[in-house]
Structure 1
């Protein structure tokens, strides 16, 4: 269910006429168009619509599925019954000014709202389809007009989400096969219908009758639009995806388009999966999208709220990888942000009000992923975001070869200098207070001299911090082994069905030492098993997989003691010795715990 939900979240477009030929943008022009987005780093996503009124419940029963906005599909609600819901949608407490102020107070610089989601309901005054908030609800007003005015007033960039690939209300679109049995199914792959003349022709009719014309409305009725945020681009062809990009360009040349208009390589920037915590980056400009609980749209029964600390650390991880972070709010059917969402926004805002300098207009970490936290950079400043405060009072910054002219706590108005000691050519030690200023993430500024000169390899720590080699930080060698979804609990490599496949990490030791080596993995009972080998620095340890549960009940084994005789770079490899089941295991991580000097 969760994996299926992941594929359904965005898009809308228009084509009553063929747009002008695609303009080829030089890197210079693209940099200019993306400049505001790269500086902004942090935005608000808003999922709001008729589904908010239902809140995940239909006819007194909770509808299965994580996402409240998918209730029409999940609950198999007929179009005629779903249309009747509009007669009860009356968000009298909606206040665009309050929404924008809440976003701005949280430190957000742009706002993306669902102008039309997969249910086909337009949250604005559409002349193309009367299935919209003005014509079908007692509210009878255009909330997008108020939101556009408030965004422009408070210098928050206005962006529209538009579901271009799916529309469950339209008889020729995709997804709704309970009303329209001959339609393309919600999970039908592109290959299953692209050569079906009837389905392809009818789908083109939907694009031309509704998607492109509504896209034109959004780009001509609300002033400057900063982003059109499309979704489920895997359900359209390359040609159709490019038509959407070209059409946006023809109406607002500076409006950005996200990758989900089609696939990687399309649009101005990439997107992660929904709520993806662990990511392999393959594009310079990208954006990560997250909810505060599980659902995107308001859901009455979803109380699985994330803590402010977990959200902040997730955000900072994204910033350190040169990404933007879009945090979702699902307003109530009355048009308000619920109390818990406001609490979280205020908590994030408090941190951003102190530490925003370490976020806005920064680039990714030049020193990789330190064990103690993350790093961002701007100009001559490195911002060290410390999650795991060193008990020793000594923070080792690995891989920084530049001279540090000055180091201080960002939250310290006096900028009292921290003592700096060069340990070796690559590593620096900072003396820090006994306790962090902010337990979620305390930021230290290191002002460097000259162009940054850094070694991003993982440095093994001899004190204060556990050394963790996460699966998503390793490099896979093989045909079947692959990275899992990267969502909560799915930060593994999986599909380990070939002995020839392996995963490896490169790391650095600044001095000799010994380390206890632990492997953490899951293995599905009855489907996984075998023997593995862990090796580094000419040493090998073997172990047997112990299957348990569904493959995501993680177990661990201490496999041996690694003795590193001298400083240098090393490779850590995990490979299969034998595979007893369909797969070996789902490997989560390898841990090195320092045992001190060699004995």
Structure 2
């Protein structure tokens, strides 16, 4: 690579490293419960887990920049204005010749997730740039075909899934419906002005049918060749039937083509669920039978929702690894998790491994710190369901699935108060409240519908979790 190319690559990396767009995907008021009993059963089991890890790892890890989006020609992407767009794309595609994660260590990732108290995984098998993190037979653009090809672990997804299964995680495969590398989606005959396919599907039905076949076959590989898969997490909600484009989709501000980017989800779902009975499908933002839970991104809904959902959020400021990125405080992550679970959701926390295949030590440490809290207070989080009186002040509530136990979690501010109080959720008369961290029973009092108890002896500085039998039982 010429010196000028090296310079522009460095400049572009700096410009786009923190170009992350938040709130692209919000919660919706529309949800359709699945009809398949096997899916319902697995979805109920998933709702028990509450805390998962999403891993973005691909070409973008090599320079440490935003995932895929830097090659999309939309005005929110900030690249060096002196560099030609086609030159930038050539440089980006060329990263496939440099991605050689010789220290690839999925066992480290899985152990760090386990230590944090995480229960399920979503691994990015292919992002929008089309680079496959599995040994696909549909394309040469994959981790298994470049400099990592001679490594015995070249089929990266297999080893990631195996490592997390050994730690008893539910397994999810992230898959991008759009693929900006294949000629069936971004055709070199035309420019690539935005995230959508760049040719008129109505005028080129053969090419789009080839893309549908390509997508079907790649998902088929994942569903048939990688063991038990619990979740198929499909991203790129602009790839959808045109008739499903509604006000919600238009509110994103993304360009909408005049043709339908329909990839025949019923056919894909039928194939996937034959291979993986009960498979949870997450066709993000495309509401209906193939969006079994919703995925608001980088935000928490304002109110409690009574259907399955998760907030997908980053541990730092980016989905993938970016050098010198700042990790969110442990307290912030835990307190967000508490709010999410009380509102009926799960937290899917994003962590990006480094280009050498290891997880950043700072990320490992932060996950361990989170685990110090979940290991002692997890009863208020895992296997719980929503309760009508879910929030009062800084105290959030969940309940056991059988309704016999109420859990409260008080979010500590700058300092721990001498006592906490709330309205609603009255404990059973004559019973105690139990502090989960340490198992101490404490007396409580009630006055005009307000419950309070003394916090003396409690050393928790993040969130105080407690349990009690409700008055109704």
Query: What TM-score does the superposition give when structure 1 sets the normalisation length?
Result: 0.63
1:308 to 330, 344, 353: 330
Tell me if 1:423 matches 2:428: no
CA distance in structure 2 between the aligned counterparts of 1:241 and 1:71, rounded to whole angstroms: 28
- 2:162 is matched with which residue? 149
| Closer, same or farther: CA 394–163 of 1 in aligned 2, 3 Å | same
- TM-aligned CA distance change 1:392 to 1:354, over 3 Å: closer
Greater strand fraction, Structure 1 or Structure 2 = 1
- CA drift of 1:95 comes to 1.2
In the alignment, structure 1 residue 44 sits paired with structure 2 residue 53: yes
Structure-2 residue corresponding to 1:205: 210
Q: CA deviation at 1:287?
A: 0.9
Are residue 257 (structure 1) and residue 281 (structure 2) matched?
yes
| 2:270 aligned to which of 232, 235, 246 | 246
Query: How many angstroms apart in 1 are the aligned matches of 2:119 and 2:39?
Result: 20
1:293 is matched with 316
Pairing of 1:379-528 with structure 2 (within 5 A): 379-388=403-412, 393-401=418-426, 403-404=428-429, 405-413=431-439, 415-416=440-441, 418-424=442-448, 427-434=449-456, 436-451=458-473
Shift in CA distance, 376/88, structure 1 to aligned 2, threshold 3 Å: same
Larger radius of gyration: 1
Q: Distance in 2 between matches of 1:251 and 1:277?
A: 34
Kept after mapping to 2: 8 A contact 1:365/1:374: no
- Counterpart CA distance in 2 for 1:138 and 1:25 is 40
The CA deviation at 1:79 is 5.2
Q: Secondary structure at the match of 2:406?
A: strand
Secondary structure, counterpart of 1:113 in structure 2: strand
Taking the aligned partners of 1:5 and 1:409, their CA distance within structure 2 comes to: 36
| Number of aligned residues | 412
Alpha-carbon contact 2:285-2:294 (below 8 Å) kept: no
1:42-80 deviation line (CA, Å, top 9, x unaligned): 110000011100212xxxxxxxxxx34423335546554
Q: Which has the higher contact order (CA 8 A, sep 6+)?
A: 2
* Cα displacement string for residues 501-520 of structure 1 (whole angstroms, at most 9, x for unaligned residues): xxxxxxxxxxxxxxxxxxxx
Structure 2 CA distance for aligned equivalents of residues 307 and 438 of structure 1: 16
Report the Cα distance in structure 2 between the residues aligned to 1:268 and 1:145, rounded to whole angstroms: 25
In the other structure, the counterpart of 2:180 is 168
- Partner of residue 240, structure 2: 236
Q: Secondary structure at the match of 2:203?
A: helix
Deviation at 1:270, TM superposition (A): 1.2
Q: 1:218 aligns with which of 219, 222, 225?
A: 222
Aligned to 1:227: 231
Q: Give the direction of change, closer, same or farther, for the CA distance of 1:232–1:8 in structure 2 (3 Å limit).
A: farther
Deviations 1:267-302 (A, max 9, x none): 211111x2113445555111110001221011225x
How far 1:184 sits from its partner (Å)?
7.4
Secondary structure, aligned partner of 2:420:
strand
1:99 aligns with 2:103: no
Q: Secondary structure at the match of 1:212?
A: helix
Tell me, in whole angstroms, the C-alpha distance in 1 between the residues paired with 2:195 and 2:396: 39
Take 1:41 and 1:289, find their aligned partners in 2: how far apart are those partners? 12
CA spacing shift, 1:367–1:435, aligned 2, 3 Å: farther
- For 2:239 and 2:283, the matched residues in 1 are separated by 13
Q: Distance in 2 between matches of 1:310 and 1:94?
A: 30
Between 436-445 and 219-228, the greater mean CA deviation after superposition: 436-445
Give structure 1 stretches of 5+ with no counterpart.
Answer: 10-23, 57-66, 452-599
CA distance in 2: counterparts of 1:71 and 1:325, whole angstroms: 27
1: distance between equivalents of 2:464 and 2:43? Answer: 29
Computed over aligned residues only, the root mean square deviation of the Cα atoms, in angstroms, reads 2.9
- Calculate the TM-score normalised by the size of structure 2: 0.79
Q: 1:431 to 1:25 in 2, by over 3 A?
A: closer
Relative distance call for 1:171 and 1:382 in structure 2 (3 A) is same
Aligned CA distance change for structure 1 residues 391 and 327 (closer, same or farther; 3 Å) = closer
Q: 1:311, 1:337 → 2: CA distance?
A: 18
1:244–1:420 distance in 2 versus 1, CA, 3 Å = same
Task: Write the distance in 1 (CA, Å) between the matches of 2:224 and 2:290.
Answer: 23
Q: 1:127 aligns with which of 123, 126, 137?
A: 137
Contact 2:385 2:399 in 1 (8 A): yes
For 2:416 and 2:109, how far apart are their aligned partners in 1?
A: 41
Counterpart among 376, 381, 386 of residue 359 in structure 1: 381
